Amino acid sequence: MATVDSRGLEVSTGNARSLEQFDAALHLLNGYYGDPLAAIDEALAEAPDFAMGHALRAGLMVTSGDGTAEPMLRESVEAGEALHAGANDRERRHIAAARAWLDRSFTRAIALYGDIAIDYPRDLLAVQVAHIGDFLLGQSSMLRDRIARVLPHWDAEMPGFSFLLGMHAFGLEETQFYERAEDRGRSALDLNPRDPWAIHAVAHVMEMQGRLDEGIGWLGSRREDWADDNMLAVHNWWHLALFELEQGDTDAVLALYDENMCRPAPAVALDLVDASALLWRLHLRGVDAGARWQPLASDWQGRGAAGYYAFNDVHAIMASLGAGQPDAAAELRAALSGAAARTGTNAMMSREVGVPVADALIAFEDGDYATAIDLLMPARLIANRFGGSHAQRDVINLTLIEAALRGGRANLAQALCAERAALKPMNPSLRRLMHRADDCGRGAVRH
């Protein structure tokens, strides 16, 4: 009889201890808990010929969306390929999908993970890697539909079911089904209150609906469920900081940054993205983040991963500009344009979104607001192509509004504020922008 994992899927190892560690590692990955890499490495030390173990390790590297993970991804893909003869169909397909990512065909890789999930709908690893891939690629409808495809094959008794609900919640949120998203997220949390992705999905709903006090209460009251030893912690701190920022409490934002978001180098890319974007939002408001910029910029610059993923590069440029290092920003911009000239998914991302947004940020910092506006107006319409969530990409809209205000483009500033006002209830930050747009229309300047 073939060996099966905790969801009944066949695996090629007969080593029960290794399989147990594999299931434990997958659980850590599902909840972004602790150290799934250490757990899967233990499983592989126990059984080095466990193909699915190498597939999990590879999937973990794919979900990081970070060029610094590439050497480890290569190790896992090559180890998995060497086990081809003894691997089963599902394991071989995992390794092939990871190979596509390693070859920088990100879109194809995620399609392959998605295909595995169609044929093996209880393969939670394939589902989750595809889900995070959809996030990295900005494929919002698939964030929702890829989960919907597999749900009929699950029930609440199966281990990990709540994680599926959390993923579905996020997909529903990113496609504006806010009520259903919140219901799904709360259902996931009824089953497992410590699901940071489900907590995060509901926080997104509150962000998109401008429910600031509720958002602060939601994340604040559940802090023990998401903040400790969790890979998503900085991201959820960032969400909490966004609510505070919309309230206009920039002191609270800086305190959250200092106490919870600032990480020693080398930080993971996701954390650097959020740290950079938060300081940039403060910068747009004229808040001086001072010495916070420099270590952030250095961390980005020391990674040697520029040109891997345009979404990261744009945030690295924010940090260099904020740190007052235009030469470093120009170097990162050169890496982006080098990437744009190559092939693969990131070439498209860099060409269509990364380079124009980077140039807009550089122009903004030079005080060339007209150029920033010209670049951002079309880029914001297709910005999903370089990944991230609506909330993350909103930094582009905020930069555009600030460029319009500082560039004396009162009509544009008022129009962009009106867009926001139609989507969310009034809040202190939006009111402030609208006052400034009105002042701008009267020829006054107020920062």
From the CB of 200, what's the least distance to Fe ion, in Å?
Answer: 6
Using the minimum distance from each CB to Fe ion, give the nearer residue, 277 or 405. Answer: 277
C-alpha separations of 181 from 173, 178, 192, 193 in Å: 5, 5, 16, 16
Residue closer to Fe ion (CB basis): 174 or 365: 174
Listed in sequence order, the residues at least 6 apart from 272 whose beta carbon sits closer than 8 Å to its beta carbon are 296, 299, 300, 312, 315, 316, 319
Mark residues 383-402: x for contact with Fe ion by CB under 5 A, - for none. Answer: ------x-------------
Contact (Cβ atoms closer than 8 angstroms) between residue 197 and residue 232: yes
Closest contact distance (angstroms) between CB of 447 and Fe ion is 29
Shortest Cβ 74–Fe ion spacing (Å): 29
Widest distance between CA atoms in the chain: 80
Residues contacting residue 321 through CB under 8 Å, at least 6 positions apart: 329, 361, 362, 365
Task: State whether residue 62 is helix, strand or coil.
Answer: helix
Element (H, E) at 293: helix 293-301
String marking each residue 149-168 x if it binds Fe ion according to CB under 5 A: --------------------
Closest to Fe ion by CB, 267 or 321: 267
Nearer to Fe ion among residue 184 and residue 406 (C-beta): 184
Q: Is 309 helix (H, G, I), strand (E, B) or coil?
A: coil
Q: For the packed helices 326-340 and 293-301, what is the interaxial angle rounded to 10 degrees?
A: 40
Whether 272 and 300 have beta carbons less than 8 Å apart is answered as yes
Residues 271-300 that bind Fe ion (CB under 5 A): none
Q: Whose CB is nearest to Fe ion?
A: 389
Q: CB of 247 within 8 A of CB of 427?
A: yes
| Nearest one of 170, 190, 167, 189 to 178, comparing CA atoms | 170
**Which class for 264: exposed (0-12), middle (13-18), buried (19 or more C-beta within 10 A)?**
exposed
Q: In this chain, which stretch among 297-305, 351-359, 382-390, 413-421 interacts with Fe ion, using CB under 5 A? A: 382-390
Least separation, in Å, of the C-beta of 38 and Fe ion?
26
Nearer to Fe ion, 15 or 389 (CB): 389
Q: Looking at beta carbons only, is 150 or 234 nearer to Fe ion?
A: 234
Question: What are residue 4's DSSP bridge partners?
Answer: 10
Q: Nearer Cβ to Fe ion, position 64 or 389?
A: 389
Closest CB 239 distance from Fe ion, rounded Å: 6
| Least distance (Å) between residue 140 CB and Fe ion | 13
Q: How many chain residues bind Fe ion (CB under 5 A)?
A: 1
- Which CB sits closer to Fe ion, 174 or 249? 174
Residue 167 CB, shortest distance to Fe ion, in Å, is 13
- Give the other-Cβ count within 10 Å of 220's Cβ: 10
Smallest distance from the beta carbon of 208 to Fe ion, in angstroms? Answer: 11
Interacting residues with Fe ion (CB under 5 A): 389
